[in-house]
Structure 1
Amino acid sequence: MRKSDLARMWEFFRLLYPCQVALITAAHGGRRDVMTSSAMPVSFKPPLLAVSISPKRFTYELIKAQGEFVVNVAPRSLMDKALLCGLKSGREVDKFEEVGLTPGRAKRVDVPIVEECLAHLECRVVREVEAGDHSLFIGEVLAAYAADDMLARDDDGIALWDLTKAEVLLHVGGAYFTVARDMVRSSVKYSFFRSA
């Protein structure tokens, strides 16, 4: 297999795609916003995840002020709306209204969820880490819930997406997206509890 260097080093992130599309919601002082991004698990105990957001973004300002955010897992049906959320600024418009998303009440934080999403991870910021032109918000997951009919269980009984039902939206790059439609199991004997 022949391999070539990328023409522009900043394109490196595309080699890590596709990645799950998350609609990050934030609110403070009567203002709310939703932006397109992704999230990364950081720790099981305590349950932590990270989102990377530019300090130039309105969502960044709201998270910084409120200390809370929600990671909403987007389905394929939200592809166009997710792309629009990444193209518009929440300083200028209420993106919930502008793109037609339904805000819902979160369980543990004072930030709206996106009702149309498959799952919601409500987070409290425990740390901010400057990382180049972005900042990582490390959030403790205070509540995590998903559409029951979209989940399956692995051999250890741990929830995972039933990819025959849940069309979890994956971003390939630019205006290109995909969904995973099948799941294959490795022949390697595995237990989450043994590896955790």
Structure 2
Amino acid sequence: MSIEEINQGLTYITYGLYIVTTIDGEKKNGLIVNTVFQVTAEPARVAISVNKQSLTHEMILKSRVFATMPLEEATTLPFIGTFGFRTGRNFDKLSKVPYKTGFLGCPIVTEHTLSYMEVEVCQTVDVGTHTLFIGEVKDAGVLKRDGKALTYAYYHNVIKGKTPKGATHS
């Protein structure tokens, strides 16, 4: 089976689009991911998948905390680009984005996000190019009750968004 056939099959898996933020001392950063899922209900645990080349990955490894926020369907491509098309190594992604500081110190982006979960990492799983960060939800809340979650399919088919090569270094 070719990689093209495998990739075609994978396009039918449904995903959302999420902002993941973290801290490392005074430095804050974030990126866009499409893999966030609930692992357990009691205690409430979630997992995220983050590319090992990204600055956010390095920062989560050090701080052992992250926040994740599902994006709303009405999110604009330029807003997504702030977190997905540039690296935080040479660009302050949060400089012009409204956010509040969460319970664990992570930035909670308040524009174009529906809810948030702030998470303390309790386990990591090496899956090759990515790491699964599994953690316990320490704080959560709803930011917008009337929004609809942005799916990866909507992003590609309606917004016409692409995944740039440099996105892995976010």
Q: TM-score range by the shorter chain?
A: 0.7 to 0.9
Q: Which amino acid aligns with 1:61?
A: E
Alignment partners' CA distance in 2, 1:65 and 1:43: 24
Alignment partners' CA distance in 2, 1:11 and 1:132: 21
When the two structures are superposed, what TM-score results if normalisation uses the length of structure 2? 0.81
Alignment partners' CA distance in 2, 1:177 and 1:72: 21
Match in the other structure for 1:153: none
Q: How does 1:76-155 map to 2 (within 5 A)?
A: 76-80=73-77, 81-97=79-95, 100-106=96-102, 108-116=103-111, 117-147=113-143, 150=145
Q: Identify the range of structure 1 (63-72 vs 109-118) with the bigger mean alpha-carbon deviation.
A: 109-118
Alignment partners' CA distance in 1, 2:23 and 2:156: 27
Alignment partners' CA distance in 2, 1:138 and 1:42: 8
Change in CA separation of 1:51 and 1:167 when aligned onto 2, cut-off 3 Å:
same
Match in the other structure for 2:162: none
User: Do residues 170 (structure 1) and 112 (structure 2) align?
Assistant: no
Answer whether contact 1:79 1:177 (CA < 8 A) is retained: no
Match in the other structure for 1:190: none
Answer whether contact 1:171 1:177 (CA < 8 A) is retained: no
Alignment partners' CA distance in 2, 1:177 and 1:74: 15
Match in the other structure for 2:70: 73
Across the aligned residues of Structure 1 and Structure 2, the Cα RMSD in angstroms comes to 2.3
Answer whether contact 1:72 1:121 (CA < 8 A) is retained: yes
Alignment partners' CA distance in 1, 2:97 and 2:9: 31
Answer whether contact 1:76 1:169 (CA < 8 A) is retained: yes
> Relative CO higher for 1 or 2, CA cutoff 8 Å, sep ≥ 6?
2
Q: How does 1:175-194 map to 2 (within 5 A)?
A: 175-176=156-157
Alignment partners' CA distance in 2, 1:134 and 1:67: 16
Match in the other structure for 1:33: 29
When the two structures are superposed, what TM-score results if normalisation uses the length of structure 1? 0.71
Match in the other structure for 2:4: 7
Q: Secondary structure at the match of 1:77?
A: coil
Q: Which amino acid aligns with 1:77?
A: A
Alignment partners' CA distance in 1, 2:158 and 2:3: 21
Answer whether contact 1:170 1:177 (CA < 8 A) is retained: no
Alignment partners' CA distance in 1, 2:61 and 2:31: 15
Greater Rg over alpha carbons, structure: 1
Q: Secondary structure at the match of 2:137?
A: strand
Structure 2: gaps spanning 5 or more residues = 160-170
Q: Secondary structure at the match of 1:26?
A: strand
